Amino acid sequence: MKDSFLIKDEFFHYYQELVSDVMLPYQYAVLDDNAADADIPKSHSFENFRIAAGESKGEFSGWVFQDSDTAKWLEAAAYCLMRKPDPDLESKADAIISLVGRAQEKDGYLNTYFTVMCPDRKWQNLQECHELYCAGHMIEAGVAYYEATGKTKLLQIGKRLADLIDSIFGKGEGKRDGIPGHPEIELALVRLFRVTGEQKYLALAKYFLDFRGTDPDFFKKEALKRGWTLWNMNPEDTDYLQNTYPVREEKNAVGHAVRAVYLYTGMAMAAVETKDASLADACERMWNSIVNRRMYLTGGIGSSADGEAFTLDYDLPNDTAYCETCASIGLIFFANAMLDLQHNAKYADVLELALYNTVLAGIQRDGTHFFYTNPLEMDPMHAQKIPRFRHIYPRRPKWHGCACCPPNAARLLASLDRYAWHTEQNEKGRQIFYSDLFIQGEYHYNGAFSFVTKTGYPYDGMVEYEVQAAPGPFTLAVRCPFWSKNTPVNVNGKRKIPKMVNGYLLLEDLKARDCVQVTLDVSPHKVYANPKVYADAGKTAFMAGPLVYCFEDADNKDLNFLCVDKQGTPLVFDSRDSVLGQIRVLKIPGLRLTQSDALYSFAPPGWERCELTAIPYYTWCNRETGKMKVWMPEQ
């Protein structure tokens, strides 16, 4: 890698240590069926590899994509090893990699479900069986582990698997058409191409992207041909499967939200490598469809539990929201790929929203409980008790039967350094460094440039960049977030008014020892949804910097009776809590409604003034169980 970023941030230090010290050991124990807590369902993910390797007896157990949990754990382990040496973790990872190698078949095939359960059914059910999805995750893990340790074993496993896939699917002689029901292989193949330089992997990624949507009946024909089904999914729901139109012709982000953003990430990464303008246009269209019409304020996506899917424009119900943690992680992947395609602060704005809000909310502060769904409103009296809230949890469970989210969050947080900075040379050969996330640390590029960033972000808006080394003039492009109303910039103590291009403050002609101070406006403010978002009609939400706030019963007795006072403005208070950590809470003038027991009345509810307390959404549900709301009625 040409650049590196060493995170020394107070805010994210907590999470990065949590991943390496708590989440990875905990998840290892769960995947190894050795979790101390008997309540945790058996994952069986490692055991499936042992059975496939012929080293253990027993039956395959878990989902057909259970292998991907192991792959994501290995990838997260790789990023942790990149951050700091950990011989115990490395030996554990090496042992699992060795096991994975022994479970790989001679021809490169690797999927314990099929190896153990039904080797005669391989590659027949791309719609439901996720062989290509699991392959993609193992390839990603191999790339990451190679980058972290220089060890090639898992990379070779991934290459052999990719070579097998390449020998089966595509347009060449003896090959056949195919696309994954769950995209992931595409982005993984681009990563494999990037690390190996082998064009065939990029070509295979491009094939999967290009074939998609050219035959909307593909999965139906596949189902008819094989005559069996794994879990009775509808092969004709082409929107769910993102196979209605060729990817360049689709107008909206549709179907299963995680699959969608994994697909779009693959598209954007391929477009970067191939300079394919029509593919880049398609990415931009999908981006706009999500961000302008189908995304929650928290960066959550996928409003329907049914199909874990996008629905229609402006349909963003708060209480039944699905907002899978993985979908926001995928949105971050997509945003990051878009930043490589075209440097525009709007991508990083959304990347940041999804990261600081939905992804962090997906993890309990203790690192051992995880949300799968992330609603913007929750009532523990209703969660899991009323049919339409069946998917809503009143608290984060310790694990999930379908455990895609916990290791996915681990690998994202462990690799956060890859999202903070981006760089490119402009047409004049000038290096531009884009500061996309405001995280304290040291950034190095090519052994020549280095900066130290200092900040107490997201609670403090001041971000300082000290140029430590620079062989010549360069440009620092600091993202000016959409929420920062007023963003003064000082260079070496002097106020400067920089050019703003594509949402970045351009600080040009910097040199070693220069010091840039950018003060983002992280003061709190109200947010209103477009009236087309009928779920938010008459309601307001609060943000401060990138943080979306929410109200909990823990701070506000019975949320159903509370409104925000239209005239009031929020005030900020520092708070330190052993559970929530150092945060800033908002105190907001509010009204408490009073009402008789009548179900309906002719008089409006009476009210008395009160003070509401809002906490950052990412910290919710870490104290006692109670109602939570992001959007609050205002009157």
Point out which residues pair with 249 in neighbouring strands: none
Residue 539 within binding range of a copy of itself, rule CB under 8 A? yes
Does position 384 interact with a copy of itself (CB under 8 A)? The reply is no
Write each residue from 296 to 315 as x if it is in contact with a copy of itself (CB under 8 A), else as -, in one continuous string.
-x------xxxx-x-xx-xx
Does 317 bind a copy of itself (CB under 8 A)? Our answer is yes
Is the Cβ of residue 425 or residue 560 nearer to a copy of itself in the bound state?
Answer: 560
Between the CA atoms of 343, 344, 350 and 355, what dihedral angle is there, to the nearest 10 degrees? 30
* Separation of alpha carbons 328 and 330, rounded Å: 5
Residues 483-512 that bind a copy of itself (CB under 8 A): 483, 485
How would you class 188 by CB atoms within 10 Å of its CB: exposed for 0-12, middle for 13-18, buried for 19 or more? buried
Q: Sort 118 into a burial class: Cβ within 10 Å, 0-12 / 13-18 / 19+.
A: middle
**Distance of alpha carbon 169 from the chain centroid:** 29
Which of 75, 308, 352, 634 is an active site residue? 308
Q: Applying CB under 8 A, which part among 49-57, 175-183, 274-282, 287-295 lies near a copy of itself? A: 287-295
* 394, two tokens: 């009143």
Of 153 and 526, nearer to a copy of itself (C-beta) is: 526
Q: Does 277 bind a copy of itself (CB under 8 A)?
A: no
Q: Which of 382, 395, 430, 496 binds a copy of itself (CB under 8 A)?
A: 382
Q: Which residues of 517-527 are buried (b: 16+ CB within 10 A; e: fewer)?
A: bbbbbbbbebb
292 is written with which tokens? 């302008």
Residue pair 539/620 in contact by the 8 Å Cβ criterion:
no
In the set 1, 172, 281, 534, which binds a copy of itself (CB under 8 A)?
Answer: 534
Q: Which is nearer to a copy of itself, 280 or 562 (CB)?
A: 562
Total length of the chain = 635
In the residue annotation, 326 being an active-site residue is answered as: no
- Please count the residues of this chain forming the interface with a copy of itself, following the rule CB under 8 A: 57
User: Is 292 among the residues that bind a copy of itself (CB under 8 A)?
Assistant: yes
Q: Which residues contact 516 (CB under 8 A, 6 or more apart)?
A: 464, 465, 467, 476, 478, 489, 490, 491, 507, 510
Burial class (CB in 10 A: 0-12, 13-18, 19+), 601: exposed
Greatest alpha-carbon span in the chain: 77
Q: Structure tokens of 168? A: 């089966």
Q: Does 251 bind a copy of itself (CB under 8 A)?
A: no
The least CB distance from residue 320 to a copy of itself, in Å, is 6
Among 134, 323, 326, 404, the active-site one is 404
The yes or no reply on residue 237 touching a copy of itself (CB under 8 A) is no
Interaction with a copy of itself in 513-532: which residues (CB under 8 A)?
525-532
Whose Cβ is closer to a copy of itself: residue 239's or residue 442's?
239
Cβ 524 to a copy of itself shortest distance, Å: 11
Min dist CB 350 to a copy of itself, Å, is 11
Annotation says 404 is catalytic: yes
Instruction: Figure out which of the listed residues 227, 387, 429, 493 binds a copy of itself, where binding follows CB under 8 A.
Output: 387
d(CA 224, CA 228): 8
Rule CB under 8 A: choose which of 538, 557, 579, 609 binds a copy of itself: 538
List Cα–Cα distances, 462 to 93, 200, 385, 630, in angstroms. Answer: 39, 46, 45, 26
Which active-site residues does the annotation give?
308, 404
Binding site for a copy of itself (CB under 8 A): 291-293, 295, 297, 304-307, 309, 311-312, 314-315, 317, 320, 379, 381-382, 385-388, 483, 485, 525-534, 537-540, 560-561, 563, 593, 595-605, 633-635
